């Protein structure tokens, strides 16, 4: 009798919806229904008094109790805190994501029995801190996170594998160059992949971590709000509940306009009611630039990869927002390729993650598998140094984005001062030539340098970036035995103590005590105390009810880290890459017009949207 194996699951942890899948006995990717019977679970948490409620009921409650709701947390993952306080409490985004993952785990266990191993998907364009925080969320939820995988890669895997089960029998033959266009609720990813039988090779990836269906909703939301103000001189955006109701109606209208030409959208606030005929034409006019943005990103990616639209043999659509006719039309007009809609836009990513999870398990057991998945890094990796001639920060790229993983890169630097005691190699990701908008992902410190080293002593730095996202940094001074090694297992997220604290909090039921209620409780107690001064009052309980860091503290920590980063910059000076570069500047960066980190052009507007909605 063969031993019964505990299945591994794949989870698509989406901005708006999440999906869990596993491989059935025949190896067919299968979506697991949640306990409400849905194949997707809204990524929304409602912090009820008795504990968190995740999914459909939470999404419904959002319009009535917005202060107890956390949604779209994926947009903030990698940051210190979720964008708004929930019942007055500051929560790390990975904690919100962990609560969602825990619900998915519990529901999946009703069907599969106990599960531990998981692969979670992330947008290909996620940077290291976002990847790390996603992994942490999985651990906080009680999973053993086998790996994370890029969403478009997962979709391509699902496509490749599903062909074997497809009734049309159409299988991937020969080499194909596939563009995966993934437009979900909150993120956009474009990835160019080569598919060759069971080999999946990423060539290039690009994206926008702040562009998705909710931005389309926002345009309708703003348009209707403006009409409301014009008609009634009242603004539904001023009230959290009214704003959330209108946001939800905007999404319903958008989805209706996928199949209809006109939709009557209603908006109610302070007893006033607006009914508006929204046509598909008007909707498309309001949002055309968003589709353009996705095309712009793809054009840039193709150019960077030295490819043309003619090189693409297939376009796979993934993500709920690719149902919008305007997306399909724009993409077909641009590419001249008829898009392939054979994948389920909601399930493909989770299916691919399930395939990959089983592949990882098989590899761990040294079982034969012919699957080959090769990834690229989505952001430049480099060192932030100081330019010798000006004293200004300068970035030097050691591993350019879209390098096939594993990748290696090295660079030469010099010490800045005479008799320098320590060197800090600041490792950064993305950003521009002077390091602006880059993400600091760690520092490799070389200490105990020999006495009296002259200034401008050579320092060699080498990066090794492995498939699993681990970056190894080596720094050494040639001719001496001085060296330091740093292994960054993805950028630092929550500290070990904080992970433990939140893991306990979650396993004890994740009960959120409204901070206002604590204050009220205090006031009540104080009033009582004032009324009957002789009575002894126990305050301890009330004090313990707010085990959360105040927002200020989180902000302080971030600032502190930043300061440290700036201080450490001073240790280093960059060397010109080629001897004849002369001024110490040339050769450090190649392309001044490269994308500026993760910040999309419309980012600030979006921040306002959420501030409007939720602050
Ligand atoms: N029929 C439809 N017409 C238009 N938009 C739709 C339709 N169905 C779903 N959507 C949109 O698709 C989005 C959700 O897609 P999906 O579930 O793929 O995203 P996600 O996985 O939550 O987000 P992400 O992948 O960006 O993290 C929502 O914005 C939703 O409004
Ligand atoms: Mg998605």
pLDDT at 304: 93
The mean pLDDT value of the chain amounts to 83
Span 206-262, pLDDT tens digits? 999 999 999 999 999 999 999 999 999 999 999 999 999 999 999 999 999 999 999
In a domain, 182, yes or no: no
pLDDT at 499: 93
Catalytic annotation, pick one of 74, 218, 254, 401? 74
Q: Find the 597 Cα to ligand 2 centroid distance in Å.
A: 21
Cβ partners under 8 Å of residue 311, min gap 6:
177
Q: What average pLDDT does the segment 13-40 reach?
A: 96
Alpha-carbon span 347 to 353, nearest angstrom: 10
Alpha-carbon span 559 to 574, nearest angstrom: 25
Cα–Cα separations (whole angstroms), residue 87 to 66, 246, 518, 546, 549 = 9, 22, 10, 11, 13
Task: Reduce the DSSP state of residue 82 to 3 states and report it.
Answer: coil
Task: Reduce the DSSP state of residue 90 to 3 states and report it.
Answer: coil
Q: What average pLDDT does the segment 139-157 reach?
A: 95
In a domain, 224, yes or no: yes
Span 529-579, pLDDT tens digits? 444 433 332 222 222 222 233 233 333 333 333 333 322 222 233 333 332
Span 263-322, pLDDT tens digits? 999 999 999 999 999 999 999 999 999 999 999 999 999 999 999 999 999 999 999 999
Query: Could you tell me if 258 and 323 are in contact, meaning their C-beta atoms sit under 8 angstroms apart?
Result: yes
Cα–Cα separations (whole angstroms), residue 129 to 126, 458, 489, 590 = 8, 30, 10, 25
Alpha-carbon span 609 to 184, nearest angstrom: 18
Residue 186 CB–ligand 1 contact under 6 Å: yes
In a domain, 56, yes or no: no
Q: What average pLDDT does the segment 473-502 reach?
A: 82
Residue 320 CB–ligand 1 contact under 6 Å: yes
Copy the structure tokens of residue 510. Answer: 């994740």
Residue 184 CB–ligand 1 contact under 6 Å: yes
Alpha-carbon span 52 to 87, nearest angstrom: 13
Asked if 74 is an active-site residue, the reply is yes
Domains in the chain: how many in total?
1
In a domain, 249, yes or no: yes
Span 407-439, pLDDT tens digits? 999 999 988 888 888 888 899 999 999 999 999
Alpha-carbon span 198 to 355, nearest angstrom: 12
pLDDT at 524: 56
Q: State the closest ligand 1 atom to the C-alpha of 151, by its place in the atom list counted from 1.
A: 25
Half-sphere exposure in the Cβ direction for 42 (13 Å, CA): 18
In a domain, 440, yes or no: no
Pick from 61-70, 173-182, 378-387, 595-604: least confident: 595-604
Alpha-carbon span 483 to 64, nearest angstrom: 59
Q: Strand order in 458-465's β-sheet?
A: 483-489, 470-476, 458-465, 407-415, 572-574
Q: What angle do CA 126, 327, 20 make, to 5 degrees?
A: 50
Percent above pLDDT 90 for the chain: 65
In a domain, 348, yes or no: no
Residue 322 CB–ligand 1 contact under 6 Å: no
In a domain, 405, yes or no: no
Copy the structure tokens of residue 69. Answer: 């709701």
Domain containing 270 — which CATH number?
3.90.640.10
pLDDT at 507: 92
In a domain, 218, yes or no: yes
Give the domain range for residue 607.
213-285+603-614
């Amino acid at each position: 009798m063969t031993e019964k194996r505990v299945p591994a699951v794949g989870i698509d942890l989406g901005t708006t919806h999440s999906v869990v899948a596993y491989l059935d006995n025949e190896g067919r990717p299968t979506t697991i229904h949640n306990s409400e019977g849905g194949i997707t679970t809204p990524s929304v948490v409602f912090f009820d008094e008795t504990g968190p409620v995740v999914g459909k009921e939470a999404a419904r409650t959002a319009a009535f109790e917005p202060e107890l709701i956390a949604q779209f947390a994926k947009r903030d993952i990698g940051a210190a805190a979720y964008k708004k306080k929930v019942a007055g409490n500051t929560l790390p985004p990975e904690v919100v994501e962990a609560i969602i993952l825990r619900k998915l785990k519990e529901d999946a266990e009703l069907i599969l029995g106990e599960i531990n191993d998981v692969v979670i998907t992330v947008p290909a364009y996620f940077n290291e801190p976002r990847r790390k925080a996603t992994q942490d969320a999985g651990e906080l939820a009680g999973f053993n996170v086998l790996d994370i995988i890029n969403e478009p890669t997962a979709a391509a895997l699902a496509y490749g594998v599903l062909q074997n089960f497809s009734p049309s029998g159409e299988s991937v033959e020969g080499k194909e160059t596939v563009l995966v266009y993934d437009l979900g609720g909150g993120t956009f990813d474009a990835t160019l992949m080569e598919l060759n039988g069971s080999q999946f090779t990423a060539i290039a990836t690009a994206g926008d971590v702040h562009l998705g269906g909710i931005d389309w909703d926002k345009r309708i939301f703003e348009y209707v709000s403006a009409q409301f103000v014009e008609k009634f001189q009242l603004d539904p955006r001023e009230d959290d509940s009214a704003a959330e109701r209108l946001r939800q109606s905007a999404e319903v209208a958008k989805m209706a306009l996928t199949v209809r030409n006109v939709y009557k959208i209603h908006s109610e606030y302070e007893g006033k009611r607006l009914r508006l005929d929204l046509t598909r034409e008007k909707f498309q006019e309001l949002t055309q630039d968003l589709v353009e943005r996705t095309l712009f990103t793809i054009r840039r990616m193709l150019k960077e990869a030295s490819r043309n639209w003619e090189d693409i043999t297939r376009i796979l659509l993934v993500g709920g927002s690719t149902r919008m006719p305007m997306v399909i039309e724009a993409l077909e007009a641009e590419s001249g390729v008829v898009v392939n809609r054979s994948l389920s836009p909601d399930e493909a990513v989770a299916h691919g993650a399930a395939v990959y999870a089983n592949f990882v398990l098989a590899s761990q057991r040294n079982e034969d598998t012919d699957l080959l998945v090769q990834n690229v890094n989505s952001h430049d990796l480099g060192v932030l140094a100081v330019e010798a001639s000006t004293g200004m920060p300068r970035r030097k790229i050691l591993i350019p984005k879209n390098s096939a993983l594993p990748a290696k890169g090295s660079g030469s630097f010099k010490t800045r001062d005479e008799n320098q005691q320590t060197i800090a190699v600041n490792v950064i990701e993305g950003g521009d030539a002077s390091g602006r908008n880059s993400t600091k992902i760690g520092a490799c410190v070389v200490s105990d340098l020999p006495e009296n080293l002259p200034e401008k002593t050579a320092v060699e730095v080498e990066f090794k970036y492995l498939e699993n996202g681990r970056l190894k940094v080596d720094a050494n001074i040639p001719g001496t035995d001085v060296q330091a090694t740093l292994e960054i297992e993805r950028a630092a997220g929550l500290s070990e103590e904080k992970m433990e604290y939140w893991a306990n909090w979650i396993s004890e039921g994740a009960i959120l005590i409204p901070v206002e209620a604590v204050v009220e409780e205090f006031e009540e107690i104080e009033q009582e105390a004032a009324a009957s001064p002789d009575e002894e009052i126990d305050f301890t309980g009330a004090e313990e009810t707010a085990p959360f860091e105040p927002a200020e503290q989180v902000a302080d920590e971030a600032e502190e880290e930043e300061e440290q980063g700036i201080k450490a910059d001073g240790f280093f000076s960059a060397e010109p890459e080629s001897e004849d570069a002369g001024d110490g500047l040339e050769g450090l960066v190649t392309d001044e017009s490269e994308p500026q980190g993760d910040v999309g052009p419309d980012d600030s507007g979006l921040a306002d949207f959420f501030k409007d909605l939720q602050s």
